[in-house]
Chains A and B, each alone.
Chain A
Amino acid sequence: MHPATAETPAPTLSVVIFSSRNEARPLEVLAELRRWLAGRALDHEVVLAFDADRAGLAHGVRGNLESLDRTRLVVLSASQGQLATIRAGVAVSTGRYVVTLPAFPQVDPSAVGVVLEALERGADYVVGCRAARRISWFNRLVSGVFNAMVHAATGTTYRDIACGAHGMRREVLAAIPSYGDNQLFLPILAAREGFTVVEASLPEHKTAPKLRVFSPGTYLGRALSLFTLAFLVRFTQKPLRPFGALGAVLFGAGSLTALVLLVQRLFMHRGLADRPLLLLALLLVTAGVQVIILGLLGELLIYLHFRDQVQYRVRDRIDIEGGMS
């Protein structure tokens, strides 16, 4: 969108401050960031990214834009959620490395330096993790439960899923599919594409709110994203395996029950017409068959749409005759 020209070469660092439903203090974060950057000879730019339902906030910032050096603003025209806001911010940035910060005091501005250092050491994607957090028992509980659920669902071990401070090389975001509604999708998708994802311990902001309570919809939304994530990570390639296993269990339980009833009918002269268990047996069998067929439909989708897609990424190649790369 803003290609780097000869006069304005791409900076080393772009900081994207994103403001969607739960982040509403971009100017504070920006001011602190600028104070931290002021003492450093770091070639940088700042992008403020707003979801459409934060357009009012963006309008206020736009009035000050003239006074903000090396700062760009992007506002989504339709409400698309956190991940789309971050993606928009990264898309209009130009830096070689991109660090994202949520628009409320979550981590200390020096966290940007920690993330940048990890990127410069060779990481493709950096996930933040707030060290020594001073938070209420409620948030500790919510965060503990949510992290545990994410670990169980995806097999990852990131300790602080809710930390909005992430860093990435520019090319990473371009290479991963545009998918999901939560920032958490980014490191998981990046790791699936074979990028090196590392976790960095970041200092928490000294005025970080001890208690943050969101609307029930936010919690529900996060829990639902988890289903999507678990499915994405575990079953994308082979839907018939989980569905087939579940269907086989249902079918087997139903068949066994029906068999017992049949044996009782044939050899013990116990009538079938007054056995509600027969209904349960048939229900299990028919449900099992239908679950297996759903798995088959999933396989059909994969065959029809993804069978020609490349499922690997070559990192290195040794080829003495043809030249090494």
Chain B
Amino acid sequence: MAENTISLVSFVLTLMVFSYLFGDAPLIGGLYRIAVYIFIGMTAAFTLVVSYEGVILPYLQDIQDQSTSWTALGYRADITIMFTALLFALLLLLKPINRLTWLTNSVYAVVIVVGAAVGAVGALNGTLFPLLQATVALPDDLTADFEVLVESLLIFVGTMTGLYYFHYQARARADGNEEQSRVGRGFRHIGKAFLVTTLGAIYASALLTSLTILTERIGFLFQFGA
């Protein structure tokens, strides 16, 4: 596609999306929805192409080559995996038949538990242990830099009280109401301060990113218009 055509199509589509700002004004009210439906159609098409070219086709080509194997179990295991996957895909098509829904759900169950196992092991090895180690680690020389020590302590307190904020514990009183301990309430308040600060920073970063994109798009519109 020629460079001018790309710019023209980009210009028109950007204007169509920005027509959202005018709401349901006559003539231009539907332009935003047209752009969104074009976007959904294209995304579906690109996803289909990537799934086929990136996953299905390489696997189909691989199982034709007997000298290679995906796992330590050998070439025959590859064939079994491929045919099991195809069988599972066929079972997914049974979803509309109410009496056989359990078969479709079984396929989902296998995929979900494999994902859950990967997620749980990944969270343990990739997030929990490294972050806990980094949180409790102290500087090498405690006397050398007092500022670093204070910062390390603050990070430790912030992380622990932030985690504590997600935890709720209360005593039952004689009148049937609940009562939180003062220490627990204090921890929760400190944790909340750290979490609100973090959410504020995340919000500001997201705002900065989207403002940068907005100025780039507006700049493009003016540049193309000129």
The answer on A and B forming one complex is no
Binding site for B on A (CB under 8 A): none
